[in-house]
């Protein structure tokens, strides 16, 4: 067991850690975007406000530098008069001070030719279409056997529709960039989950060789997917710096994040389960309706976990999408799994009630021998172990299944369970490990430590391979002049960067084992896992988990308070207990927040997300998460990577909302099929 503190912990708590808006290059000035105030139309004219000598430039689509096509229409900022959604950037003010930039931005007047907008997601929308793929490259539709016949023939049928509104990533650090040009060379400090991706995009947009772009993201204050791709802030900062010939700082105001940095798209999810009275599922359908913007197709792959979770003779999993005049959705922690498992695991709870089975037992009875959709064998599958261990730790045995019968004064109390799952994703990366004169080692890899503890874990990986104390290992991350690192996304960071570090360290150890004296400059070994990762696998590789929740519901008010949340996960080898627990607990907290609090409304009249600050978009505060416990079961998996780890960044948020909603049902007898489970959705409860 390893239990190491974060290497950068002291820097963070003392303020020494530098984030994207912290550099103060000499002569730096400030940029402030002007958001569109119509949801659809064309910009006719942009009128700067009162003259101010501190204002250096007001860029519009008419005079902003032209950008090449980098394949992401959300980054083609100030390139055309079209307004695709409210909040899209229509002008950029650059000024000597932040205050002057903000003041001037507020004074810019934009004339539009406004067009009627379409922002309300309805099932019978004429624009609904079947995409080719959902996010992650998954086929939009998978059909196995004759679902309708199997469903019709089943003894028990559950047919329920679940809804989740838009959700927002809202990392603590808003998206920020500092950009500076030195001749034809561009340096940006960017709040990014993947510096190399930013580098490639900027090089394309501005027509530069990649080696003329340096992206620094040494510390990142959270991202939850919203920093996984370059965002308009970094393009605008680079553009502005080129125009004014000075370094430019740009930090997006919190209120602009919901329009500019992606969000989890709303989903309407119909789940049908046909089962025998013994609970064995014969037919399973999970059908998703979601939406994307007119700029770009992003399809939340919410039906994908249903291809992994349970046995069934026949199944159908589909995604439908409609393009609307809304901000472009994107990755948010466990895209697909987080919303999809709310619906599937709620439906499993409904099935458990219908067949009078304990919900843990129901899941155990539906364990598949191989991955149901693909037929591939699992590299390892820890769901039963997680369910049993979680039930034991939580005290699940002997639970009275009847809903609405446990009273403590005016409170109703209940418990619920749900499963978690997340795929093992690994991307090619490179790393260099150097033996330094004096007995130290240096690990160099462009990992992005977005608060996960990545640099700590990677140093531990190297130390273990080299069989030296971690105190002798230094590590450099977060710069694109380091060996290539993949994006910190898809819970793939540790496996992807770690494999490269493992490989480089292993080869270095072999070189050193010869006993030859270390050269005066030290000895470096570099590894690239492109070929190793590219070999692929014949296995279905997923992490699993089980989450148990206890809630109380106030019968006066319908206020739901989560008393306990306990998760047990099977995620391969856990490399560092402390940072792993932090990741899992963080995911569960975010899942509890999704379950009970986070609510975003697409304003039909204006076409924007109405709740755009943390006063109105409620995320869990400490008082909402009094008791969150994360555990894991030992799991050996030889088919993932030499590290044996499966990824833990996202699985914690998967299934939490269902566990909580199932507990609310157990407490009150009210089944809430729309998140968040707020008091007004419970109706009047018996006093």
Partner 1 sequence: MREFGYLRPSSAAEAVELLAADPGARYLAGGTNLVDLMKLGVERPRLLVDLGRVPLRDVGPTDDGGLRIGALARNADLAADPRVRAAYPVLSQALLAGASGQLRNVATTAGNLLQRTRCLYFQDTAKPCNKRRPGTGCPAREGVHRDLAVLGASEHCVATHPSDLAVALAALDATVELLGPDGARTLPVTDLHRLPGDRPDLEHRLLPGELITAVTLPPPAPGARSAYRKARDRASYAFALASVAAVLVVREGRVERVGIAFGGLAAKPWRARTAEAMLRGAPADEASFRAAAEAELAGARPLRDNGHKVPLARNLAVRVLSGLAAGSVR
Q: Which are the catalytic amino acids?
A: 650
Residue 360 as a binder of partner 1 (CB under 8 A): the answer is: no
Stretch that binds partner 1, among 66-74, 514-522, 534-542, 601-609 (CB under 8 A): 601-609
**Stretch 622-641: interaction string toward partner 1, x if CB under 8 A:** xxx-----------------
Residue 604 as a binder of partner 1 (CB under 8 A): the answer is: yes
Least Cα distance to 95 among 256, 246, 254, 253 occurs for: 246
Q: Long-range contacts made by residues 78-84, C-beta under 8 angstroms, separation at least 24?
A: 78/236, 78/239, 81/42, 81/43, 81/44, 82/42, 83/36, 83/38, 83/39, 83/40, 83/41, 83/42, 83/43, 83/112, 84/40, 84/293, 84/294, 84/295, 84/325
Least distance (Å) between residue 326 CB and partner 1: 15
Identify residues 223-262 at the interface with partner 1 (CB under 8 A): none
C-alpha span between 111 and 91 (Å, rounded): 12
Pinpoint the alpha helices (H) of 416-545.
454-466, 493-513, 530-534
Stretch that binds partner 1, among 190-198, 437-445, 543-551, 620-628 (CB under 8 A): 620-628
505, 497 contact by CB (below 8 A):
no
Quick one: the chain helix, strand, coil %, rounded to 5? 30, 25, 45
Closest to partner 1 by CB, 418 vs 551, is 551
Least distance (Å) between residue 623 CB and partner 1: 4
User: Residues 474, 618, 639, 671: which binds partner 1 (CB under 8 A)?
Assistant: 618
456, 464 contact by CB (below 8 A):
no
Least distance (Å) between residue 604 CB and partner 1: 7
Residue 408 as a binder of partner 1 (CB under 8 A): the answer is: no
Identify residues 491-510 at the interface with partner 1 (CB under 8 A): none
Identify residues 142-201 at the interface with partner 1 (CB under 8 A): none
Least Cα distance to 327 among 606, 78, 73, 84 occurs for: 84
Stretch that binds partner 1, among 293-301, 515-523, 530-538, 604-612 (CB under 8 A): 604-612
Residue 469 as a binder of partner 1 (CB under 8 A): the answer is: no
Residue 680 as a binder of partner 1 (CB under 8 A): the answer is: yes
Closest to partner 1 by CB, 223 vs 676, is 676
Residue 120 as a binder of partner 1 (CB under 8 A): the answer is: no
With residue 139 as reference, give the H or E element that holds it: strand 138-139
C-alpha span between 672 and 662 (Å, rounded): 9
C-alpha span between 646 and 217 (Å, rounded): 25
Closest to partner 1 by CB, 280 vs 561, is 561
Residue 606 as a binder of partner 1 (CB under 8 A): the answer is: yes
Stretch that binds partner 1, among 6-14, 276-284, 289-297, 678-686 (CB under 8 A): 678-686
C-alpha span between 95 and 189 (Å, rounded): 19
Least distance (Å) between residue 260 CB and partner 1: 15
**Stretch 98-117: interaction string toward partner 1, x if CB under 8 A:** -x--xx--x-----------
Closest to partner 1 by CB, 163 vs 365, is 163
Residue 51 as a binder of partner 1 (CB under 8 A): the answer is: no
In degrees and rounded to multiples of 5, residue 273 shows phi and psi of -125, 125
Closest to partner 1 by CB, 470 vs 560, is 560
Question: Around Cβ 270, how many Cβ atoms within 10 Å?
Answer: 18
Residue 558 as a binder of partner 1 (CB under 8 A): the answer is: yes
Angle at 366 (CA atoms; ends 362, 367), nearest 5 degrees: 120
For the purposes of burial, counting CB atoms within 10 Å of the CB of 521, is it exposed (0-12), middle (13-18) or buried (19 or more)?
exposed
Closest to partner 1 by CB, 163 vs 474, is 163
Residue 615 as a binder of partner 1 (CB under 8 A): the answer is: yes
681, 417 contact by CB (below 8 A):
no
Binding site for partner 1 (CB under 8 A): 35, 37, 99, 102-103, 106, 410, 554, 556-561, 596-597, 601, 603-606, 610-611, 615-616, 618, 620-624, 676, 678-680, 684, 687
């Amino acid at each position: 067991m390893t239990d190491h503190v974060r290497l950068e912990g002291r820097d963070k708590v003392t303020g020494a850690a530098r984030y994207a808006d912290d550099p103060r290059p000499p002569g730096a000035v400030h940029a402030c975007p002007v958001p569109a105030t119509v949801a659809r139309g064309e910009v006719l004219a942009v009128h700067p406000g009162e003259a101010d000598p501190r204002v250096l430039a007001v860029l519009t689509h008419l005079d902003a530098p032209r950008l090449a096509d980098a394949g992401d229409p959300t980054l083609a900022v100030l390139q055309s008069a079209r307004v695709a959604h409210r909040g899209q950037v229509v002008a950029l003010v650059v000024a000597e001070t932040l205050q002057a930039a903000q003041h001037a931005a507020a004074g810019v007047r934009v004339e539009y030719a406004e067009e009627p907008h379409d922002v309300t997601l309805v099932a019978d929308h004429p624009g609904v279409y079947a995409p080719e793929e959902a996010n992650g490259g998954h086929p939009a539709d998978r059909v196995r056997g004759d679902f309708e016949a199997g469903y019709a023939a089943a003894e028990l049928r559950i047919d329920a529709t679940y809804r989740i509104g838009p959700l927002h990533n809202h990392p603590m650090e808003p998206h920020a960039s500092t950009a500076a040009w030195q001749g034809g060379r561009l340096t940006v400090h960017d709040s990014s989950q993947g510096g190399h991706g930013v580098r490639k995009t900027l090089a394309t947009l501005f027509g530069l060789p990649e080696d003329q772009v340096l992206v620094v993201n040494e510390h990142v204050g959270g991202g939850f997917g919203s920093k996984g791709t370059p965002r308009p802030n970094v393009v605008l900062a680079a553009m502005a710096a080129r125009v004014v010939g000075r370094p430019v700082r740009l930090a997006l105001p919190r209120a602009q994040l919901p329009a500019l940095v992606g969000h989890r798209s709303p989903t309407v999810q119909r789940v049908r389960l046909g089962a025998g009275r013994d609970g064995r599922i014969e037919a399973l359908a999970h059908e998703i309706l979601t939406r994307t913007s007119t700029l770009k197709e992003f399809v939340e792959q919410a039906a994908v976990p249903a291809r992994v979770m349970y046995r069934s003779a026949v199944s159908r999993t589909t995604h439908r999408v409609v393009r609307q005049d809304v901000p472009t959705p994107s990755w948010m922690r466990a895209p697909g799994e987080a919303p999809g498992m709310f619906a599937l695991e709620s439906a499993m709870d409904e099935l458990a009630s219908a067949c009078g089975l304990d919900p843990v037992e129901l899941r155990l009875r539906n364990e598949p021998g191989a991955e149901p959709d693909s037929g591939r064998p699992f590299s390892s599958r820890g769901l039963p172990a997680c369910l049993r261990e979680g039930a034991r730790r939580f005290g699940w045995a002997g639970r009275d299944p009847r809903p609405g019968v446990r009273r403590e004064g005016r409170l109703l109390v209940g418990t619920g369970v749900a499963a978690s799952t997340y795929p093992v994703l690994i991307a090619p990366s490179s790393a260099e490990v150097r033996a330094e004169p004096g007995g130290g080692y240096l690990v160099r890899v462009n990992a992005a430590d977005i608060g996960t503890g990545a640099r700590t874990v990677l140093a531990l990986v190297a130390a273990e391979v080299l069989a030296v104390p971690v105190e002798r290992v230094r590590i450099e991350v977060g710069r694109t002049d380091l060996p290539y690192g993949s994006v910190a996304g898809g819970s793939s960071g540790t496996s992807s960067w770690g494999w490269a570090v493992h490989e480089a360290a292993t080869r270095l150890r072999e070189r050193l084992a010869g006993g030859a004296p270390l050269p005066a400059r030290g000895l470096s070994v570099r590894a690239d896992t492109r070929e190793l990762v590219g070999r692929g696998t014949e296995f279905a590789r997923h992490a699993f988990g089980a989450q148990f929740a206890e809630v109380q519901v106030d019968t006066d008010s319908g206020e739901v308070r989560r008393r306990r949340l306990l998760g047990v996960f099977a995620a391969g080898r856990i490399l560092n207990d402390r940072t792993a627990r932090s990741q899992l607990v963080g995911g569960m907290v975010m899942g509890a927040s999704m379950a009970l609090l986070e609510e975003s409304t697409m304003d039909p009249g204006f076409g924007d997300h109405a709740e755009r600050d943390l006063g109105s978009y409620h995320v869990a505060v400490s008082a909402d998460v009094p008791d969150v416990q994360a555990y894991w079961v030992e799991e050996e998996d030889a088919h993932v990577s030499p590290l044996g780890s499966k990824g833990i960044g996202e699985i914690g948020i998967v299934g939490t909302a269902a566990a909580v909603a199932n507990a609310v049902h157990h407490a009150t007898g009210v089944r809430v099929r729309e998140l968040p489970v707020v008091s007004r959705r419970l109706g009047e409860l018996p006093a």
